[in-house]
């Protein structure tokens, strides 16, 4: 998959100086993330085809370099996530670009499994084996439901053996 980076002029947000903010839009897997770049330009100096500010604008050289740096940083974040060979979203690319820490998301089934592990240690103390078995069967039903409703590949790959058992 490829990542697409597009700089867009927000013409509907003209400030008192007649300048519009430049927004960046990242697209990956048909999902978008847009954010402000912090740069402003007059609409008459913006070249949307080249996604650059025309040279006749007073701060064009600085602003064009900033746009190039933003694009390079996003591409670098994308490459880092590709190297990790794990599934990621456009939000992950944006978070890495911004320097935020990527936290592991725990899916519903994973949380349920960790709860089952905690309960397993209580068998014979506060919990009967039959009660734990009922929780285990509920987890299998949850996995089946997630496969039908969500159709998530990570859930299918991870829990395929459990469903067949």
- Cα(48)–Cα(71) distance, integer angstroms: 15
Q: Enumerate the β-bridge partners of residue 31.
A: 28
- Cα(7)–Cα(16) distance, integer angstroms: 22
Answer for the pair 31, 89: CB distance below 8 angstroms, yes or no.
Answer: yes
Q: What is the mean pLDDT of the chain?
A: 82
The total of other beta-carbon atoms located within 10 Å of residue 78's CB is 22
Query: Euclidean distance between the first and final Cα of the chain, in Å?
Result: 35
Share of the chain above pLDDT 70, in %: 87
DSSP code string of 81-146: HHHTTS---HHHHHHHHHTPPPPPPPPHHHHHHHHHHHHHTTBTTTB-HHHHHHHHHHHHHHHHHH
> What pLDDT score was predicted for residue 13?
86
- Cα(8)–Cα(25) distance, integer angstroms: 7
> What pLDDT score was predicted for residue 164?
40
- Cα(42)–Cα(19) distance, integer angstroms: 4
For the stretch 53-91, pLDDT in tens is: 888 777 788 888 999 999 999 999 999 888 887 788 899
pLDDT (mean) for 132-138: 88
For the stretch 150-163, pLDDT in tens is: 655 444 455 444 44
Decide: pTM greater than 0.85: no
């Amino acid at each position: 998959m490829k990542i697409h980076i597009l700089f867009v002029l927000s013409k509907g947000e003209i400030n008192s100086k007649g300048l519009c903010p430049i927004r960046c839009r990242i697209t990956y897997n048909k999902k978008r993330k847009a954010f402000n770049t912090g740069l402003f330009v007059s609409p008459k100096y913006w070249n949307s085809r080249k996604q650059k500010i025309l040279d006749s604008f007073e701060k064009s050289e600085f602003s064009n370099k900033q746009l190039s740096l933003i694009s390079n940083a996003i591409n670098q974040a994308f490459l880092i996530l590709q190297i990790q060979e794990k599934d990621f979203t456009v939000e992950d690319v944006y978070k890495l670009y911004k320097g935020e820490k990527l936290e592991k998301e725990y899916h519903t089934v994973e949380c349920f499994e960790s709860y089952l592990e905690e309960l397993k240690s209580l068998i014979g103390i506060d919990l009967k084996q039959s009660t734990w078995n009922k929780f285990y069967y509920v987890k299998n039903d949850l996995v089946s439901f997630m496969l039908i409703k969500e159709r998530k590949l990570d859930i299918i790959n991870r829990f395929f053996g459990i469903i067949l058992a």
